[in-house]
Amino acid sequence: MVTDQVRIERRDAILTIAIDREARRNALNEAVAAGIEAGLDLAEADRSVRAVVLTGAGEKAFCAGGDMQPAADGTPFTIDAADPRHYVARLLRRMDSCRLPLIARVNGHALGGGLGLVCACDLAVAREDALIGVTEVRVGLFPMMILPYLLRVVSYRRMMELCITGETISARDAVADSIVNYAVPATELDAKLDWLLARIVDKSPTGIRLGKQALAKVREMSTDSALEYAQFMLANMARTRDAREGFTAFSEKRPPNWTAK
Protein backbone atom coordinates (compact mmCIF):
# COMPACT_ATOMS: atom_id res chain seq x y z
CA MET A 1 0.00 0.00 0.00
CA VAL A 2 1.29 3.49 -0.88
CA THR A 3 -0.11 6.75 0.44
CA ASP A 4 0.88 10.27 -0.49
CA GLN A 5 3.72 10.67 2.01
CA VAL A 6 3.90 7.33 3.78
CA ARG A 7 4.65 3.85 2.36
CA ILE A 8 3.15 0.80 4.02
CA GLU A 9 4.61 -2.59 3.15
CA ARG A 10 4.03 -6.12 4.43
CA ARG A 11 6.73 -8.79 4.64
CA ASP A 12 5.72 -12.04 6.30
CA ALA A 13 4.58 -11.16 9.84
CA ILE A 14 6.12 -7.67 9.76
CA LEU A 15 4.37 -4.50 8.63
CA THR A 16 6.72 -1.60 7.79
CA ILE A 17 5.63 2.03 7.82
CA ALA A 18 8.08 4.33 6.01
CA ILE A 19 7.87 8.12 6.02
CA ASP A 20 8.33 8.93 2.33
CA ARG A 21 9.46 12.58 2.20
CA GLU A 22 13.13 12.08 1.48
CA ALA A 23 13.48 15.51 -0.17
CA ARG A 24 12.27 17.10 3.10
CA ARG A 25 14.35 14.77 5.28
CA ASN A 26 11.16 12.87 6.12
CA ALA A 27 9.87 15.84 8.10
CA LEU A 28 6.69 15.38 10.07
CA ASN A 29 3.44 16.97 8.95
CA GLU A 30 -0.26 16.16 9.31
CA ALA A 31 -0.35 13.87 6.26
CA VAL A 32 2.61 11.88 7.58
CA ALA A 33 0.98 11.54 11.00
CA ALA A 34 -2.26 10.35 9.39
CA GLY A 35 -0.32 7.83 7.27
CA ILE A 36 1.45 6.37 10.30
CA GLU A 37 -1.86 6.07 12.14
CA ALA A 38 -3.40 4.32 9.12
CA GLY A 39 -0.50 1.87 9.07
CA LEU A 40 -0.98 1.05 12.74
CA ASP A 41 -4.70 0.51 12.14
CA LEU A 42 -3.94 -1.90 9.30
CA ALA A 43 -1.43 -3.82 11.40
CA GLU A 44 -3.77 -4.26 14.33
CA ALA A 45 -6.65 -5.33 12.08
CA ASP A 46 -4.62 -8.33 10.86
CA ARG A 47 -4.04 -11.05 13.46
CA SER A 48 -1.15 -12.44 11.41
CA VAL A 49 0.94 -9.27 11.86
CA ARG A 50 3.35 -9.74 14.75
CA ALA A 51 5.33 -6.48 14.76
CA VAL A 52 5.45 -3.04 13.19
CA VAL A 53 8.59 -1.25 11.98
CA LEU A 54 8.67 2.54 11.64
CA THR A 55 11.39 4.03 9.43
CA GLY A 56 12.16 6.76 6.92
CA ALA A 57 12.90 6.76 3.20
CA GLY A 58 16.50 6.98 2.03
CA GLU A 59 19.68 6.93 4.07
CA LYS A 60 19.96 10.46 5.47
CA ALA A 61 17.04 10.94 7.84
CA PHE A 62 14.66 8.85 9.88
CA CYS A 63 12.66 11.99 10.60
CA ALA A 64 14.02 15.51 10.96
CA GLY A 65 11.09 16.62 13.12
CA GLY A 66 8.58 19.29 12.16
CA ASP A 67 8.87 20.82 8.69
CA MET A 68 10.41 24.25 9.24
CA GLN A 69 10.41 25.35 5.60
CA PRO A 70 8.47 28.58 4.90
CA ALA A 71 4.78 27.84 4.26
CA ALA A 72 5.41 24.14 4.87
CA ASP A 73 2.41 21.91 4.31
CA GLY A 74 0.95 20.78 7.63
CA THR A 75 3.67 22.30 9.83
CA PRO A 76 3.32 21.21 13.49
CA PHE A 77 4.25 24.66 14.81
CA THR A 78 0.75 26.11 14.43
CA ILE A 79 -2.57 25.10 15.90
CA ASP A 80 -6.18 25.85 15.05
CA ALA A 81 -7.55 27.90 17.94
CA ALA A 82 -11.05 26.61 17.14
CA ASP A 83 -9.94 22.96 17.28
CA PRO A 84 -6.83 22.64 19.44
CA ARG A 85 -6.43 18.87 19.09
CA HIS A 86 -2.87 18.79 17.80
CA TYR A 87 -2.17 16.04 15.29
CA VAL A 88 1.25 15.29 16.82
CA ALA A 89 -0.43 14.58 20.17
CA ARG A 90 -2.97 12.38 18.37
CA LEU A 91 -0.19 10.45 16.62
CA LEU A 92 1.78 9.90 19.82
CA ARG A 93 -1.34 8.69 21.62
CA ARG A 94 -2.02 6.28 18.75
CA MET A 95 1.53 4.93 18.92
CA ASP A 96 1.12 4.59 22.68
CA SER A 97 -2.01 2.51 22.26
CA CYS A 98 -0.52 0.19 19.63
CA ARG A 99 -0.83 -3.35 20.97
CA LEU A 100 1.85 -4.75 18.67
CA PRO A 101 5.60 -4.38 19.24
CA LEU A 102 6.64 -1.12 17.54
CA ILE A 103 10.29 -0.92 16.48
CA ALA A 104 12.05 2.16 15.14
CA ARG A 105 14.47 1.45 12.29
CA VAL A 106 16.56 4.61 12.58
CA ASN A 107 18.00 4.79 9.09
CA GLY A 108 19.32 8.34 9.54
CA HIS A 109 19.08 11.44 11.70
CA ALA A 110 16.24 11.57 14.26
CA LEU A 111 15.80 15.16 15.37
CA GLY A 112 13.12 17.02 17.31
CA GLY A 113 9.81 15.30 16.68
CA GLY A 114 11.73 12.52 14.96
CA LEU A 115 13.36 11.66 18.27
CA GLY A 116 9.89 11.81 19.80
CA LEU A 117 8.78 9.10 17.36
CA VAL A 118 11.79 6.98 18.33
CA CYS A 119 10.96 7.37 22.02
CA ALA A 120 7.30 6.49 21.38
CA CYS A 121 8.39 3.16 19.86
CA ASP A 122 9.04 0.16 22.08
CA LEU A 123 12.51 -0.60 20.70
CA ALA A 124 14.99 1.11 18.39
CA VAL A 125 17.75 -0.12 16.09
CA ALA A 126 19.88 2.64 14.53
CA ARG A 127 22.77 3.15 12.18
CA GLU A 128 25.60 4.22 14.42
CA ASP A 129 26.36 7.47 12.58
CA ALA A 130 22.78 8.76 12.78
CA LEU A 131 22.48 11.99 14.75
CA ILE A 132 19.92 12.17 17.54
CA GLY A 133 18.76 15.25 19.39
CA VAL A 134 16.24 18.02 19.99
CA THR A 135 17.40 21.20 18.29
CA GLU A 136 14.31 23.37 18.86
CA VAL A 137 16.14 25.74 21.23
CA ARG A 138 18.24 26.90 18.26
CA VAL A 139 15.13 28.58 16.82
CA GLY A 140 13.64 29.77 20.10
CA LEU A 141 11.43 26.77 20.81
CA PHE A 142 11.41 23.79 23.17
CA PRO A 143 10.41 20.20 22.30
CA MET A 144 7.04 20.59 24.01
CA MET A 145 4.98 17.91 22.29
CA ILE A 146 7.46 15.09 22.84
CA LEU A 147 8.49 15.87 26.43
CA PRO A 148 6.38 13.07 27.96
CA TYR A 149 8.12 10.53 25.71
CA LEU A 150 11.59 11.93 26.27
CA LEU A 151 11.00 11.66 30.02
CA ARG A 152 10.09 7.98 29.66
CA VAL A 153 13.25 7.04 27.80
CA VAL A 154 15.99 9.57 28.62
CA SER A 155 17.32 10.29 32.10
CA TYR A 156 16.33 13.76 33.34
CA ARG A 157 19.82 15.28 33.35
CA ARG A 158 20.68 13.91 29.92
CA MET A 159 17.33 15.09 28.56
CA MET A 160 17.87 18.59 29.93
CA GLU A 161 21.34 18.77 28.43
CA LEU A 162 19.96 17.82 25.02
CA CYS A 163 17.01 20.23 25.31
CA ILE A 164 18.83 23.35 26.52
CA THR A 165 21.98 22.99 24.43
CA GLY A 166 20.31 21.83 21.22
CA GLU A 167 23.35 19.65 20.58
CA THR A 168 23.12 16.26 18.91
CA ILE A 169 24.71 12.94 19.77
CA SER A 170 25.41 9.92 17.59
CA ALA A 171 23.27 6.82 17.82
CA ARG A 172 26.43 5.04 18.93
CA ASP A 173 26.51 7.29 22.02
CA ALA A 174 22.73 7.04 22.43
CA VAL A 175 23.06 3.32 23.20
CA ALA A 176 24.90 4.19 26.42
CA ASP A 177 22.00 6.47 27.37
CA SER A 178 19.45 3.73 26.51
CA ILE A 179 17.82 5.98 23.90
CA VAL A 180 18.25 3.24 21.30
CA ASN A 181 18.75 -0.48 21.88
CA TYR A 182 21.37 -1.11 19.20
CA ALA A 183 23.57 1.01 16.95
CA VAL A 184 25.39 -0.68 14.08
CA PRO A 185 27.14 0.29 10.84
CA ALA A 186 24.70 1.30 8.10
CA THR A 187 25.45 -1.87 6.13
CA GLU A 188 24.38 -4.00 9.11
CA LEU A 189 21.19 -2.11 9.99
CA ASP A 190 18.69 -4.45 8.34
CA ALA A 191 20.48 -7.59 9.50
CA LYS A 192 20.38 -6.34 13.11
CA LEU A 193 16.72 -5.37 12.73
CA ASP A 194 15.85 -8.81 11.35
CA TRP A 195 17.76 -10.45 14.22
CA LEU A 196 15.72 -8.46 16.75
CA LEU A 197 12.42 -9.10 14.97
CA ALA A 198 13.10 -12.84 14.88
CA ARG A 199 13.36 -12.81 18.67
CA ILE A 200 9.92 -11.14 18.88
CA VAL A 201 7.70 -12.78 16.27
CA ASP A 202 8.15 -16.30 17.66
CA LYS A 203 6.72 -15.26 21.03
CA SER A 204 3.08 -15.20 22.10
CA PRO A 205 1.29 -12.35 20.30
CA THR A 206 -1.47 -12.47 22.90
CA GLY A 207 0.99 -12.22 25.76
CA ILE A 208 2.69 -9.24 24.15
CA ARG A 209 -0.57 -7.54 23.23
CA LEU A 210 -2.07 -7.83 26.70
CA GLY A 211 1.26 -7.04 28.30
CA LYS A 212 1.58 -3.77 26.39
CA GLN A 213 -1.99 -2.88 27.29
CA ALA A 214 -1.26 -3.52 30.96
CA LEU A 215 2.02 -1.63 30.90
CA ALA A 216 0.30 1.48 29.53
CA LYS A 217 -2.07 1.46 32.51
CA VAL A 218 0.51 0.48 35.14
CA ARG A 219 2.68 3.41 34.09
CA GLU A 220 -0.01 5.82 35.28
CA MET A 221 -0.88 4.04 38.55
CA SER A 222 0.36 4.13 42.11
CA THR A 223 2.29 1.04 43.22
CA ASP A 224 -0.66 -0.34 45.21
CA SER A 225 -3.10 0.18 42.33
CA ALA A 226 -0.62 -1.33 39.88
CA LEU A 227 -0.19 -4.48 41.99
CA GLU A 228 -3.96 -4.92 42.30
CA TYR A 229 -4.39 -4.48 38.54
CA ALA A 230 -1.43 -6.76 37.76
CA GLN A 231 -2.84 -9.76 39.63
CA PHE A 232 -6.15 -9.34 37.81
CA MET A 233 -4.39 -9.17 34.42
CA LEU A 234 -2.14 -12.14 35.16
CA ALA A 235 -5.12 -14.34 36.05
CA ASN A 236 -6.92 -13.29 32.87
CA MET A 237 -3.85 -13.84 30.68
CA ALA A 238 -3.49 -17.37 32.06
CA ARG A 239 -6.92 -18.17 30.62
CA THR A 240 -6.03 -17.20 27.03
CA ARG A 241 -5.57 -19.85 24.37
CA ASP A 242 -1.97 -18.75 23.83
CA ALA A 243 -1.14 -19.17 27.51
CA ARG A 244 -2.68 -22.65 27.61
CA GLU A 245 -0.71 -23.56 24.48
CA GLY A 246 2.47 -22.16 25.99
CA PHE A 247 2.16 -24.30 29.12
CA THR A 248 1.31 -27.39 27.07
CA ALA A 249 4.21 -26.88 24.68
CA PHE A 250 6.59 -26.36 27.61
CA SER A 251 5.51 -29.64 29.24
CA GLU A 252 5.70 -31.48 25.92
CA LYS A 253 9.09 -29.96 25.12
CA ARG A 254 8.05 -28.61 21.72
CA PRO A 255 7.75 -25.16 20.08
CA PRO A 256 4.37 -23.54 20.79
CA ASN A 257 1.83 -22.99 18.02
CA TRP A 258 0.55 -19.49 18.75
CA THR A 259 -2.97 -18.55 17.63
CA ALA A 260 -2.99 -14.91 18.85
CA LYS A 261 -6.11 -15.75 20.87
- Confidence at residue 86, expressed as pLDDT on a 0 to 100 scale: 85
Residue range 98-103: mean pLDDT, rounded = 97
Query: Is the pLDDT reported for residue 90 higher than 60?
Result: yes
As a three-state string, the secondary structure of 5-47 is CEEEEEECCEEEEEECCHHHCCCECHHHHHHHHHHHHHHHHCC
Query: Is the pLDDT reported for residue 116 higher than 80?
Result: yes
Any idea what the Cα angle at residue 199 is, between residues 193 and 204, rounded to 5°? 130
Query: Is the pLDDT reported for residue 73 higher than 60?
Result: no
Percent of the chain with pLDDT over 70: 92
- Give the mean pLDDT of the chain: 92
- Confidence at residue 66, expressed as pLDDT on a 0 to 100 scale: 86
Query: Is the pLDDT reported for residue 71 higher than 60?
Result: no
- Confidence at residue 76, expressed as pLDDT on a 0 to 100 scale: 61
72 vs 126, which has greater pLDDT?
126
Residue range 65-77: mean pLDDT, rounded = 62
pTM of the complete model beyond 0.75: yes
Which residues, at least 6 apart from 243, have a Cβ–Cβ distance to it below 8 Å? 204, 206, 207, 237
Residue range 105-111: mean pLDDT, rounded = 98
Of the candidates 136, 167, 220, 252, the residue annotated as catalytic is 136
- Confidence at residue 85, expressed as pLDDT on a 0 to 100 scale: 72
Query: Is the pLDDT reported for residue 196 higher than 70?
Result: yes
Count helices and strands (H / E) in the chain.
10, 10
- Confidence at residue 4, expressed as pLDDT on a 0 to 100 scale: 82
The total of other beta-carbon atoms located within 10 Å of residue 205's CB is 23
- Confidence at residue 29, expressed as pLDDT on a 0 to 100 scale: 92
Q: Is 188 a catalytic residue?
A: no
- Confidence at residue 84, expressed as pLDDT on a 0 to 100 scale: 59
Residue range 65-78: mean pLDDT, rounded = 62
Three-state DSSP class for residue 246: helix
Confidence band for 111, pLDDT divided at 50, 70 and 90 = very high
Residue range 120-149: mean pLDDT, rounded = 95
Q: Using CB atoms within 10 A of its CB, is residue 223 exposed (0-12), middle (13-18) or buried (19+)?
A: exposed
3-state DSSP percent of the chain in helix, strand and coil, to 5:
50, 15, 35
Confidence band for 102, pLDDT divided at 50, 70 and 90 = very high
- Confidence at residue 2, expressed as pLDDT on a 0 to 100 scale: 54
Rounded distance between C-alpha atoms, residue 13 and residue 201, angstroms? 7
Residue range 65-92: mean pLDDT, rounded = 69
The total of other beta-carbon atoms located within 10 Å of residue 147's CB is 15
Query: Is the pLDDT reported for residue 110 higher than 70?
Result: yes
Confidence band for 213, pLDDT divided at 50, 70 and 90 = very high
Residue range 172-185: mean pLDDT, rounded = 97
- Confidence at residue 181, expressed as pLDDT on a 0 to 100 scale: 98
Residue range 47-66: mean pLDDT, rounded = 96
